[in-house]
Amino acid sequence: MKDARIPLRHVPDSPGCIALLQHGNYLYAAGNDVFSVYDIRKADSPVLIRKRRGFGLCRQFAVSGNRLYLTAREYGMWIFDISDPGAPRRIHRYDTVELATGIAAAGDLVFILQRIFGVEILDCSDPRCPRHLSLTRTQEAQSAAYADGKLYIGNWAGANVQVMDVRDPYHPKTVAAGELGGFGDGVAVADGYCYAATGLNAKGSRDNCLIGNGHGLDIFRIDGDHLHHLSRVSFPLLKVKSNDFWTVRISGKTAFVADTHNGVFVIDVSDPAHPLQTGHIVLPEVTRIDARPEGQVTLRIPDCAGSIAVGRGVLYIAGEKTGLHVAKIRGARAENIPETVLHAPAKPSVPEAEIPGFRQYDPGGQVRRVWIEGKTLYTACSHAGIRIFRLNGETLRETKTLPVRCSYDVVVRDGLLYSAEGMDGLAVYAIRDGFRELGRWKRSGIILQLIHLSDNGRFAACGSRGGILRIFDVSNPAEIRLSLRHLHGGQMYGDTFPEHDWNDRMPMIWPYCGLSWYDFSGPKARRIRDDRAHGTGQTQGITRLHNRFLMNTMENSFLFPDPSDWGETVTGIPGKGCDGVPSADGDLVAFSCRRDGTVSLFRFRGNSAGEIPERALSGLRGTPDRIRFLDGRMVIPCGHQGLLIETEAKFR
């Protein structure tokens, strides 16, 4: 029965979706900016009763009590009240540390999985004001399942299941790990067993390679804090780089595994040590563009099974392009999500230690970015708005707050404040006129999070941590216009801009896909060339160092692209490099790594780089973003750890 095809039926008028969750008589589906609700009182005939747009790149649902949570990558996490489950009411959008991908919930606690940034734990007892409790870094957390005080995490390129004790949500700790046969993702826990869906490549393959031999299901027996590997079922080779979605659901003695474009596999797990494939579901074919390091390719392939949910005698399948599908499965039972009473302590049991050589300030919210003009500090503090401070010696005094809904980045130039405000777009304010708003560019379905303002002040290059670069003409703030839109094929996971361009020339990193060079000298921004030979990953960056640009690489080295010939000439220097986004102050360059919570400093002279270990930082619980310098001292926006300012004693 290994090749038994199970027929399926498409639900008419259903939009494409990725996330699915069955809750009582209703099915929630989300993806491609749309959140839909289906009435499933007749399980095999879902009826679409509600559909709303504006939710971004939705990934996964979780439910706890009468709260529904939805991750949406750069949009963060949405919170809904489902006291009336057929009519979810939106309560709040929470700005997560990074790309909100996986999610699990138990009682008041919500666990948001954010890839290489790990697991962010929130207290959502007040859903209008979630409280950040901790960020625990992992290899690459994609999905998770909660059970009995532990979180079972599917790590992507690390190819393992990580077991984390979360009974103290301020200080989670890893207690076990189990190796997988492929890159990790979806996890389910049932009856003392852990089931892990895997994809892409077998363990040991590089994340940016495409081999396709890692698809399957691993099964473990849970023994206290230990995992014992029992078996693995391997699925067919699949050479598709995009749509990294792998989900597993358990119904009785059956495991259903959604394996992206391979479809859904039905596995008999009545004997977990000897699982048996009994059925296969394949979605209709679609045409899609697949991203590769060498460029984009067009494929004709079955649609991606983004997720699955088990109903009464049926299986619901999310088609990323084709919408909702239903397959009849004899004996399938709707998932029972147990109620868990779990509360967060008001404060951690152990107070946070001071950081030697730094003063720590809490402006409120997540301190994402900082800009310095003289002794004035402009901080983008997420939901806490834009906070403006004056530094006098070691004293930081707040002078103004702009209560915007969310600010991700700020730049100041010639009396104007530019703010990337997420779903509210790009705004420009007149500082000397009481911060009066002069203009705004905002479009439905577009979120802006990062700004590079050209040195001539005419253009603002903006990213969203997604795959599209937008460059705006801001020469007239009252009429901000889109000048250039560039879909490269890579993804801007973080700050991939330099702080300054060079003679109106700016290189920008597309992680794993190289560099692009842009020209700001004319009336319109132009893309001049792509350099796919000198790529970096998602934890490196670029800065201007005197008359050339400096970038660090995945090979732990430093490169200097020459802007005079648009980067045709690239030189390197010997010695050890580092991860992080670089910021230059004369010959000094500081590298801040949000993933690892580290800061490294080097002094560059000619073709040599000397590390300055006495000013380095490690083990930060926050997420240090691009560093600014004030009279030679580092000023570090460090996420939920606040704003860190190097003391004069440390600097000297």
- 3-state helix/strand/coil string of 414-443: CCEEEEECECCCEEEEEHHHCCEEEEEECC
Residue 390 sits in the same domain as residue 472:
yes
Average pLDDT of the segment spanning 136-149 = 96
Total domain count, the chain: 2
Residue 307 sits in the same domain as residue 373:
no
Average pLDDT of the segment spanning 231-238 = 95
Residue 322 sits in the same domain as residue 377:
no
pLDDT band with cut points at 50, 70 and 90 for residue 1: very low
339 occurs within a structural domain: no
Residue 298 sits in the same domain as residue 413:
no
Share of the chain above pLDDT 90, in %: 84
How far is CA 337 from each of CA 104, 291, 383, 516, rounded to the nearest angstrom?
Answer: 11, 36, 31, 47
Q: What is the pLDDT of residues 305-346, one digit of tens each?
A: 999 999 999 999 999 999 999 999 999 998 777 788 888 988
Q: Is residue 529 predicted with pLDDT exceeding 50?
A: yes
Residue 324 sits in the same domain as residue 376:
no
Residue 314 sits in the same domain as residue 387:
no
Which of these ranges, 69-73, 160-164, 289-293, 377-381, has the smallest mean pLDDT?
A: 289-293
Residue 264 sits in the same domain as residue 195:
yes
Give the pTM. Answer: 0.96
Widest CA span in the chain: 75
334 occurs within a structural domain: no
Predicted confidence at residue 2, as pLDDT, reads 54
pLDDT band with cut points at 50, 70 and 90 for residue 604: very high
351 occurs within a structural domain: no
Residue 284 sits in the same domain as residue 395:
no
Q: Which domain holds residue 159?
A: 9-13+20-328
| Distance, CA of 73 to CA of 296 (rounded, Å) | 22
Predicted confidence at residue 487, as pLDDT, reads 87
Domain boundary among the residues 328, 348, 373 is at 328
425 occurs within a structural domain: yes
418 occurs within a structural domain: yes
Residue 129 sits in the same domain as residue 262:
yes
333 occurs within a structural domain: no
- CATH of residue 244's domain is 2.130.10.10
346 occurs within a structural domain: no
Residue 104 sits in the same domain as residue 147:
yes
Residue environment code for 225-264, b if the CB has 16+ CB neighbours within 10 A, otherwise e:
eebebbeebbbeebebebbebbbbbbbeebbbbbbbbbbb
Residue 502 sits in the same domain as residue 388:
yes
Instruction: Cite the beta strand spans of 362-478 per DSSP E.
Output: 369-373, 376-380, 386-392, 395-402, 409-413, 416-420, 426-430, 436-441, 450-453, 459-463, 468-473
392 occurs within a structural domain: yes
Residue 484 sits in the same domain as residue 527:
yes
